[in-house]
C-alpha cells in the first residue's frame, strides 16, 4: 500500500539559511499534519491542513510557514534556521472528514543545522 512520502530524507543547512520540506500524503487522504521531534523528545505538533486550508496550529515558530497545494501535497518552509531547529520532521496524513481519523506517518526528514 502507498505510504506518506517525504523529501528530502536528510538535509544539512547552515544557521540563518532556509529549508523547504515536502510531504506527499497517502492517496485520497485530504489532511496533512506536521510534527517536530527533537532528540530524546516526543513529537510535537506544528500545523495541519484540511482540504488545502490551515485547520490547526501548534507550537510552530513564526519563522516557519506551510501550505497545502491543490494536489494535497504540503510544504513546510523554514527560514532563518537556528541550531535548535535540528530535529526530525514528520508529516502524517489522514482522511480527515472525521476529525479523529487515524494518522499515518511518513519516514521523516532529518534536518541538521550547523
Partner 1 sequence: QKEVEQNSGPLSVPEGAIASLNCTYSDRGSQSFFWYRQYSGKSPELIMFIYSNGDKEDGRFTAQLNKASQYVSLLIRDSQPSDSATYLCAVIKAGGTSYGKLTFGQGTILTVHP
Distance in angstroms (rounded) separating the CA atoms of residues 93 and 103 = 5
Return the number of the residue (48 or 78) whose C-beta is nearest partner 1. 48
Q: Between 81 and 93, whose beta carbon lies closer to partner 1?
A: 93
CB atoms < 10 A from the CB of 44, how many? 14
* Cα 55 to Cα 39: distance, rounded to the nearest angstrom: 27
Phi/psi class of residue 67: alpha, beta or left (left: φ > 0; alpha: ψ in -120 to 50)?
A: beta
Closer of 8 and 58 to partner 1 (Cβ):
58
Taking the complex as a whole, the smallest distance from the CB of residue 52 to partner 1 amounts, in Å, to 14
Q: Is there a cis peptide before residue 42, judged by omega within 30 degrees of 0?
A: no
Nearest to partner 1 of 15, 97 (CB atom): 97
**Least gap, CB of 78 to partner 1 (angstroms):** 19
> Residue 44's beta-bridge partner residues?
36
Reported as half-sphere exposure (CB side, CA atoms, 13 A), residue 63 has a value of 13
- Interface contacts to partner 1, rule CB under 8 A: 31, 33, 35, 41-45, 48, 50, 55-56, 58, 88, 90, 92, 94, 96, 99-108, 110
- Write down the least CB distance from residue 23 to partner 1, Å: 12
Q: Please, what is the minimum distance in Å from the beta carbon of residue 27 to partner 1?
A: 18
Amino acid at each position: 500500500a502507498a505510504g506518506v512520502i517525504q523529501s528530502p530524507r536528510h538535509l544539512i543547512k547552515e544557521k540563518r539559511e532556509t529549508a523547504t520540506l515536502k510531504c506527499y500524503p497517502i492517496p485520497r487522504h485530504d489532511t496533512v499534519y506536521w510534527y517536530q521531534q527533537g532528540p530524546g523528545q516526543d513529537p510535537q505538533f506544528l500545523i495541519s491542513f484540511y482540504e488545502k486550508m490551515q485547520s490547526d496550529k501548534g507550537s510552530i515558530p513564526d519563522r516557519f510557514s506551510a501550505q497545502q497545494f491543490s494536489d494535497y501535497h504540503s510544504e513546510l518552509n523554514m527560514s532563518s534556521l537556528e541550531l535548535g531547529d535540528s530535529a526530525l520532521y514528520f508529516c502524517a496524513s489522514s482522511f480527515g472528514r472525521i476529525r479523529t481519523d487515524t494518522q499515518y506517518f511518513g519516514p521523516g526528514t532529518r534536518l541538521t543545522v550547523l
